[in-house]
Structure 1
Amino acid sequence: MAGEPTAVTISDAALDAAAAPLLDKLVADAVASKLTGADATLWGADAESEASIRLSWTSLHKSSRPLIGEIEALRAELRSEGVDRVVLAGMGGSSLAPEVITGTEGVALTVLDTTDPGQVADALAGDLERTVLVVSSKSGTTVETDSHRRIFTKAFAEAGVDAARRIVVVTDPGSPLAELGEAEGYRRVFLADPHVGGRYSALTAFGLVPAGLAGADVARLLDQAASVADTLAADSADNPALRLAAALGAAHADGAEKVVLADTGSGIAGFGDWAEQLIAESTGKQGTGLLPVVVENPGAPGFAGAASDATPVAVGPAVDGAKISTSGPLGAQFLLWEYAVAVAGRLLGINPFDQPDVEAAKKAARSLLDDPQALHGTAEPSAVLGSVEVYASAGTTGEGSLADVLREFLGTVPERGYLAVQAYLDRLDDASAALLRPELARRTGAQTTFGWGPRFLHSTGQYHKGGHPNGVFLQLTGAAEDDLDVPDRPYSLGTLQLAQALGDGQVLAAGGRPVLRLHLTDRAAGLADVMRAVQELGS
């Protein structure tokens, strides 16, 4: 449970034995204390310049303390004005940690990490008189977040609400968003530590401000991290982060390039979704890395009876089938996994602080937005099957029934490869799409991931293009019943969403990854058609 001491248990004897020499070497090389001391040389000369400006996260349990009073004062101000509904516009590291924190604490936070017009419209339909919008972007230029800001600014004005008084910014010093916040007189601009990368930012203003405004106890979160900080900094074989890193490194060296995460009663809500970005974006590059596979429970396909290409990890108490388990309260788990993944990067021989392949999909999407004909014009579906338009990948015909199309496509999953299901849909109204993950995993026997687009582009998107080149990608897109224009921009949310899907698909295909896109002309009917086709595949 969440109150248990922070610990890592390696329950698989063979993995424990394989990890032992790596653990001994990490201790002998004083990796933990050097990391805590911000030694940028730990990952080699090529990584040194980036690492030198990305290591302040090891001391956030101390340096973030002044935020506690600032957040509480702003929350009290807002509540005195009747403002008690918090909407967060942010992607990747700006949204995943706050969602886990507030979910674990049971406080309400509306998270917008989507370009789906229906999901954004649902957030707009809430009581704007009671709403504060937290606009959170490290770069200050995130297109999804800027779109949300523009849409809410217009909606506030139309509702007779002073938008500037209802927008709070979290960004890095000197970013365009910081400058805009000052120029527009937004309610508050929080400047985060620029020496912390997005996926390591859970205990910075990016994680704490939206969660704290929503009512989470951020002081307790920092206390939890502080309680384990000295242990994680110790050059000792008892250091749980070193044990976890050594186990992941040893498993990868033995061919287990996938890490399957299941919650086993940790008391933490959605931890796997946060860890997914940390692991994938940190390690998935140069043709190597650890692919996180977040599953529904320890009995789900992919965890139970996992093949030799995967390491099942229990987040919470150890269970049958798990080779590793991690326990501890949320703040401590944040810090534990950050240390472990950074050290695993050293063992894998990569720089855990860059994301060299993320920008490619963004560029492709921008190019499509600039060329409406390329976006909407020429590509004809391979087939139209009920409410589903089929856009077949290179090397597949797209012929026959929908089950035939899927069967042919799934046959391209290589041995020890993986299937990624990418749903550019409404995470709330189209939630049934997530049921495809266990169904496809059960029927293919391949490790299968599921991601909501474009949210996953800021998370596992790096691994898809930079990690082990053995993935195949099933994209789901859908017609928008009611689109939303983005004020002062030449595109709507629906157009942006489609451009992101097609742009990422182009980059994946150019890298030799098979991509099949199923476009749902009627979302509910199309999802039902796809699920029936999957069930026709047999078990």
Structure 2
Amino acid sequence: MTILDAAVRATLARLDREKFTRRLWSRDPGLWKKEPDHQRIIRNSLGWLDSPVQMLNQVPELIDFANEVRAQGFRHAVVLGMGGSSLCPEVCRLTFGSAEGYLELHVLDSTVPASVARVTKEIDVPRTLFLVSSKSGGTIEPLSFYKHFYDLGRKHKGVAAGENFVAITDPGTGLEKLAHEHGFRRVFPGRPDIGGRFSALSNFGMVPAALAGVEISTLLTRALKMAQACSADVPVPENPGVALGAYLAEAALAGRDKITFIMSAGTFSFGDWVEQLIAESTGKEGKGLVPVIREYIGDPDVYGQDRVFVRMALIEEKKRMVENRLEALEAAGHPVLRIDLRDHYDLGREFFRWEMATATAGALLGINSFDQPNVQESKDITNRLLAGFSTAGKLPEPEPVGEFEGIKVYCDLDKTPSNAGLSSTPLQECTECVAAFLKRAKPGSYIALLPYIEPESAHKASIQALRLHLRDGMKLATTVGYGPRYLHSTGQLHKGGAARGLFVLITAEDKQDQSVPGEPYSFSVLKMAQALGDYEALRSRGRPVIRFHLSARVPGGLDQVTTLFKSAVDKVLGWIG
């Protein structure tokens, strides 16, 4: 038995004595925090515990609605949302696709103009149902998407354009009011006692899934079975959700806070959902678990001692090559957890298991798993920048510290060590800057790549090549979050979690732009304001951050950024050596 295994066993025994699971199901906020303000939030955030039961009762209503819109000729459904409002629909879209005769599901969660244009091109507006999905009803991205598509809808259907829109939002929000004023076809209520990242098994996840023909009754039944396996009557050591959460928390307390997911093809998209759940729930008060997804598995010598590996695979997709590598990692002392799924519908089981595990881990780390205290910081700066744009007609743009072949480099040199003696050539200047940035890494650090570009295949391949070079060269965990999507996912962890991240923002000139009807700014301006807002929020917290702005062709620009990092990694390793 390893030291970690012994610690987990002791923790589970303690939780059993303290009746942890019974207290959780009785919605005792004292499991997480004692302060009244925290307890008020927690008491109103535990509705996910009974969500499988409630949603199973609503299945006939959702199926009837799906049949209604199918019969009226709708062929596409577009989710306009961010974070918890978009990630479960995206999992369903990529995992299940659309059943024959049902609506083809699309998800728009990016303000990058190319993303807006791509979705617009993929659909036939008159035969498309738009799901404006926002718990708060005031999120800037889905409201901007709504303005874009409602304007297009009016050109086809005039005042009847609202028939193509559905709102999914909590009762009493501005979006609910907007839906009634503009004649939306339907409003599906969110539950105020379920937070966004815990809302997969609610209307936010199940309405889009039903429209695509996913067998939501099967998905929810699997979730219910997991809820029963995690019930108050089950001893803690046998509780799959609590036991997983205890393992992750004890691993983090032992310095293994990088939860690295190795997913088979049939479970791959689940990583995006669980990434938000873990990062936004635990990344606060200088603590947190860092989820690492889509980082190809490597040999043991490329990993530090800060990893826990979680392999999730459909039984039919388990590969001997991957298992051999996992066994090599275990032999090198890395913890490896394995989760097998019978079929895709077992993802319903995993939605609930990981919600329970994340809530448990937060309690053991002494944090409130259900708030997001630092998410607003970037939003506030973005709103200030947009207000300035409305009067000045432009966004502020500081002087770059270096420029190389159409790439501008921005970083805070005053806070960067070894910044003296920058070489004279542009390439050397930029390399020195990047090397000084990387030198701020320590054992246990991670590097977050945050590109504000369309995640098309060529771009993703370039970003993946860059992250693997950084991982293998620096022996550090790497994450990738496409902006502005990551602001609603890992953004809380970046600013509120442990100060171990190094943040690489990549912005680019847009070849095309899309106006936001009724606003003085376009999607390109909104995207850039969001990037600059997060850059400033990270700087204000003393986080190491660097930004590359690509003025030339994006794939070529990404290749140049990779070249800079390769040279910088060599320089840093030379300093260390």
Q: State the TM bucket, normalised to the shorter chain.
A: over 0.9
Q: Secondary structure at the match of 2:238?
A: coil
After TM superposition, the score normalised by the length of structure 1 is 0.93
2:448 to 420, 434, 441: 420
Residue in 2 that maps onto 1:85:
76
2:12 to 14, 23, 40: 23
The answer to whether the 8 A contact 1:357-1:466 is kept is yes
Alignment of 1:128-527 (within 5 A): 128-160=125-157, 162-233=160-231, 234-264=234-264, 267-297=266-296, 299-300=297-298, 306-316=303-313, 319-320=326-327, 321=329, 322-328=335-341, 329-372=346-389, 373=392, 376-394=395-413, 395-396=415-416, 400-401=426-427, 402-428=430-456, 430-435=459-464, 436-522=466-552, 523-527=554-558
Write the letter of the residue equivalent to 1:496.
L
Q: Secondary structure at the match of 1:380?
A: coil
Alpha-carbon distance, 1:534 to partner: 3.4
Alpha-carbon distance, 1:64 to partner: 1.1
Q: Given the alignment of the two structures, is residue 117 of structure 1 paired with residue 77 of structure 2, yes or no?
A: no
Q: Secondary structure at the match of 2:237?
A: coil
Write the letter of the residue equivalent to 2:28.
D
Write the letter of the residue equivalent to 1:330.
L
1: CA distance, partners of 2:163 / 2:205: 21
Shift in alpha-carbon separation, 1:202–1:304, aligned structure 2, 3 A: farther
Write the letter of the residue equivalent to 2:114.
G
Q: Given the alignment of the two structures, is residue 42 of structure 1 paired with residue 59 of structure 2, yes or no?
A: no
Q: Once the two structures are superposed, what CA deviation does each residue of 1:70-125 show, in whole Å capped at 9, x if it has no partner?
A: 22222212222221211111100001111112222133421111110111011111
Q: Secondary structure at the match of 2:31?
A: helix
Q: Secondary structure at the match of 1:409?
A: helix
Q: Secondary structure at the match of 2:30?
A: helix
1: CA distance, partners of 2:135 / 2:189: 9
Shift in alpha-carbon separation, 1:315–1:305, aligned structure 2, 3 A: farther
Write the letter of the residue equivalent to 1:498.
M
Q: Once the two structures are superposed, what CA deviation does each residue of 1:230-252 show, in whole Å capped at 9, x if it has no partner?
A: 11112331111122112112111
Write the letter of the residue equivalent to 1:148.
F
Q: Which 10-residue stretch deviates more, 94-103 or 400-409? A: 400-409
Q: Which 10-residue stretch deviates more, 130-139 or 315-324? A: 315-324
The answer to whether the 8 A contact 2:263-2:311 is kept is yes
Q: Which 10-residue stretch deviates more, 80-89 or 503-512? A: 80-89
The answer to whether the 8 A contact 1:87-1:112 is kept is yes
The answer to whether the 8 A contact 1:361-1:503 is kept is yes
Q: Which 10-residue stretch deviates more, 406-415 or 136-145? A: 406-415
The answer to whether the 8 A contact 1:31-1:235 is kept is no
The answer to whether the 8 A contact 2:56-2:221 is kept is no
Alpha-carbon distance, 1:374 to partner: 9.8
2: CA distance, partners of 1:169 / 1:13: 50
Q: Given the alignment of the two structures, is residue 67 of structure 1 paired with residue 58 of structure 2, yes or no?
A: yes
Write the letter of the residue equivalent to 1:241.
G
2: CA distance, partners of 1:45 / 1:312: 33
The answer to whether the 8 A contact 1:33-1:235 is kept is no
Alpha-carbon distance, 1:370 to partner: 0.9
Shift in alpha-carbon separation, 1:256–1:285, aligned structure 2, 3 A: same
Q: Considering only CA atoms, is the larger Rg found in Structure 1 or Structure 2?
A: 2
2: CA distance, partners of 1:251 / 1:306: 16
Write the letter of the residue equivalent to 2:276.
Q
Q: Secondary structure at the match of 1:376?
A: coil
Q: Secondary structure at the match of 1:189?
A: strand
2: CA distance, partners of 1:341 / 1:327: 19
Q: Which 10-residue stretch deviates more, 212-221 or 277-286? A: 212-221
Q: What root-mean-square deviation, in Å, do the aligned CA atoms of Structure 1 and Structure 2 show?
A: 2.0
Alpha-carbon distance, 1:455 to partner: 0.6
Q: Once the two structures are superposed, what CA deviation does each residue of 1:192-222 show, in whole Å capped at 9, x if it has no partner?
A: 1110000100000001111211222211110
Q: Which 10-residue stretch deviates more, 315-324 or 165-174? A: 315-324
Residue in 1 that maps onto 2:332:
none
2: CA distance, partners of 1:404 / 1:486: 40
The answer to whether the 8 A contact 2:302-2:472 is kept is no
Q: Given the alignment of the two structures, is residue 529 of structure 1 paired with residue 560 of structure 2, yes or no?
A: yes
The answer to whether the 8 A contact 1:67-1:205 is kept is no
Write the letter of the residue equivalent to 1:117.
P
1: CA distance, partners of 2:165 / 2:138: 16
Alpha-carbon distance, 1:337 to partner: 0.6
Alpha-carbon distance, 1:375 to partner: 5.8
Q: Which consecutive residues of structure 2, in runs of 5 or more, have no partner in the other structure?
A: 99-103, 330-334
Q: Once the two structures are superposed, what CA deviation does each residue of 1:365-394 show, in whole Å capped at 9, x if it has no partner?
A: 101111125963451222221121111233
Q: Which 10-residue stretch deviates more, 161-170 or 214-223? A: 161-170
Alignment size in residue pairs? 525
Percent identity between the aligned chains? 36
Alpha-carbon distance, 1:306 to partner: 3.1
The answer to whether the 8 A contact 2:93-2:106 is kept is no
Write the letter of the residue equivalent to 1:426.
E
Write the letter of the residue equivalent to 1:532.
T
Q: Secondary structure at the match of 2:221?
A: helix
Q: Once the two structures are superposed, what CA deviation does each residue of 1:307-332 show, in whole Å capped at 9, x if it has no partner?
A: 22221221236742352223341011
1: CA distance, partners of 2:18 / 2:189: 35
Q: Secondary structure at the match of 1:516?
A: strand
Shift in alpha-carbon separation, 1:417–1:284, aligned structure 2, 3 A: same
Alpha-carbon distance, 1:404 to partner: 4.0
Alpha-carbon distance, 1:414 to partner: 2.5
Compare the two structures and name the one with the higher helix fraction: 2
Residue in 2 that maps onto 1:8:
none
Q: Secondary structure at the match of 1:288?
A: coil
The answer to whether the 8 A contact 1:245-1:343 is kept is yes
Q: Once the two structures are superposed, what CA deviation does each residue of 1:119-165 show, in whole Å capped at 9, x if it has no partner?
A: 10111112223211111000000000000000000112224474211
Q: Which 10-residue stretch deviates more, 109-118 or 159-168? A: 159-168
1: CA distance, partners of 2:4 / 2:15: 16
Q: Which consecutive residues of structure 1, in runs of 5 or more, have no partner in the other structure?
A: 1-11
The answer to whether the 8 A contact 2:88-2:273 is kept is yes
2: CA distance, partners of 1:249 / 1:377: 42
Q: Which 10-residue stretch deviates more, 90-99 or 43-52? A: 43-52
1: CA distance, partners of 2:30 / 2:511: 52
Write the letter of the residue equivalent to 1:282.
S
Q: Given the alignment of the two structures, is residue 33 of structure 1 paired with residue 31 of structure 2, yes or no?
A: no
2: CA distance, partners of 1:206 / 1:437: 32
After the TM superposition, which segments of 4 or more aligned residues of structure 1 sit over 6 Å from their partners? none
Shift in alpha-carbon separation, 1:378–1:89, aligned structure 2, 3 A: closer
2: CA distance, partners of 1:422 / 1:40: 35
